[in-house]
Amino acid sequence: MANNSDKPVVLVTGASAGIGDAIVRYFARNGWNIVAVARRQDRLDKLVADMKGVADVATVVADVTATDAPQRAVDAAMERFGRLDCLVNNAGAGKWAPPAETDDATIDEVIDTSLKAPFRFGREALRVMKPGSSIINIGSVFGMLGGLDGGIYCAAKAGMIGMMQAFACQYGAAGIRSNVVAPGVIRTEMTDAAWDAEPFRRINHELTPCDREGTVEDVAATVFFLASKEGSYINGQTIALDGGWS
61: enclosing H helix or E strand: strand 57-61
Task: Report how far Cα 206 is from the mean position of its chain's Cα atoms.
Answer: 26
Q: How big is the chain, counted in residues?
A: 246
DSSP string, 92-136: -------GGG--HHHHHHHHIIIIIHHHHHHHHHHTT--TT-EEE
10: enclosing H helix or E strand: strand 9-13
Catalytic residue among 26, 153, 171, 233: 153
DSSP state of 9: E
**Strand arrangement of the beta sheet that strand 177-183 belongs to:** 57-61, 33-38, 9-13, 86-89, 134-138, 177-183, 238-241
Which residues are CB-contacts of 122 (< 8 A; sequence separation ≥ 6)?
87, 89, 135, 163, 167, 178
233 carries an active-site annotation: no
Q: In 3-68, which residue ranges form alpha helices assigned H by DSSP?
A: 18-29, 41-50
- Phi-psi map region of 82: left, alpha, beta (phi>0 left; psi -120 to 50 alpha): left
Quote the CA–CA distance of 49 and 47 in Å, as a whole number.
Answer: 5
**Which residues belong to the active site?**
153
